[in-house]
Structure 1
């Protein structure tokens, strides 16, 4: 397989992993998931998302928008592959959002975790309580309910929660999501520590490749950790008044 074909395959697997991440959160946290023709809609913690459609028929797209209006959503998001014709989204009133950079790295090339400030797995009570106060408490159920499949990592500084990350393992691919360090604690190497720890957990679960989407600015950070860009996607947003 040449490099271009290999990159396309990784992007496709990355899209599938992200779709499963959105689906899992919605199913575990009381959301809704349904298919309407070629469209897969996921109504979860992030609101209503249309996930990587191959085509965008007008009637099915309109039904999804009407669902969002009925649910009083303020925003509908569409994640689109680079090869998909997004013209129907524009005609339906969507505006172009940010362009995700898909990046990947072989997990055996990412150094094993070594930072004692990072905790991976079932959460100590104090971390769970602090995340719950910040509004993410329900998501933490996934780390307990999906053992060996969904992983959560938290980093603490002087006993205070300073950032977190998630990973979902689907076959050989581990998607990395929502990696974030709170602003007061940035530029201390905590993001790299989270990445190495969550990647280590995914590797132990049998994954061979790590994949994520990021902005061009974030790509600089991930490139320093051994990730390479394998493709680009697109997001489209519809604001509902």
Structure 2
């Protein structure tokens, strides 16, 4: 079974690859590992947080147009330097893990793996650009989308399958991290979430993944538990919103 450290490594690798795909930056300042992607900057799992390094990072972020800074921590890490810099304590991710064999294989016809997508308009062009990660060979990133047929009461303008949700997996060593899994509210409670989850985990398993990991909100835990995941630890996030 995976450890919390494996969960943290998987998320750091995913953030780094995502930033590289979108022209972001990754750098280290002493014990602090930073990743910047667009208007967001993240501090990834430090074991200690020097106050001067935090202040320097915040000042640089302001100068470069960053609007939000997130810090991902273990619960045992002293966050007083973040609080002093104006960060506020945020949500607590539940780290969950499962052997890929326990998650199972998706046979949901509504779900398909994709390397290209027309589901994102110009407003979300950056998100669509991330799909280039799925085209790297050997493949280490997978994207799945779900579609449902409109109900009988739908208007003609809504004819054809409706985009209902998405999920990603990213392989780090033998660990498949599951990220950004989302089923739009109107399509929830139809089994779509489990189909998406199993599709991206099964794809990573074929590439050598032995375990799957993710960070869950309270709302998502029940779904993950029904697919074989169990909580192995918890973390905490801190956030600083900068003026535009």
- Output the TM-score relative to the length of structure 2: 0.90
Q: Does 1:174 align with 2:176?
A: yes
Cα distance in 2 for residues equivalent to 1:209 and 1:20:
16
Cα distance in 1 for residues equivalent to 2:199 and 2:180:
14
**CA 1:22–1:109 in 2, change beyond 3 Å: closer, same or farther?**
same
Cα distance in 2 for residues equivalent to 1:162 and 1:46:
27
- 1:203-228 CA distances to partner (integer Å, 9 max, x unpaired)? 10100111000112211221121111
Residue 203 of structure 1 corresponds to: 205
Runs of 4+ residues deviating >2 angstroms: 131-134
Q: Displacement of 1:162 after TM fit?
A: 1.0
Cα distance in 2 for residues equivalent to 1:219 and 1:93:
30
Cα distance in 1 for residues equivalent to 2:25 and 2:201:
29
Q: Does 1:55 align with 2:48?
A: yes
Cα distance in 2 for residues equivalent to 1:83 and 1:169:
27
Structure 2, unmatched stretches of 5+, are: 150-160
Q: Does 1:239 align with 2:232?
A: no
What RMSD in Å do the two structures reach over aligned CA positions? 1.5
Q: Does 1:144 align with 2:135?
A: yes
- 1:116-162 CA distances to partner (integer Å, 9 max, x unpaired)? 11111423xxxx12224561211122112355201111111122211
Give the stretch that moved more between structures: 95-104 or 74-83: 74-83
Cα distance in 2 for residues equivalent to 1:131 and 1:218:
24
Aligned residues: 230
Describe the SS at the equivalent of 1:43: strand
Describe the SS at the equivalent of 1:129: coil
- Is the contact made by 1:25 and 1:45 (CA closer than 8 Å) also made in structure 2? no
Q: Displacement of 1:238 after TM fit?
A: 1.0
- Output the TM-score relative to the length of structure 1: 0.91
- Is the contact made by 2:96 and 2:231 (CA closer than 8 Å) also made in structure 1? yes
| Within-5 A mapping of 1:24-43 | 24-43=17-36
Structure 1, unmatched stretches of 5+, are: 1-5
- Is the contact made by 2:39 and 2:67 (CA closer than 8 Å) also made in structure 1? no
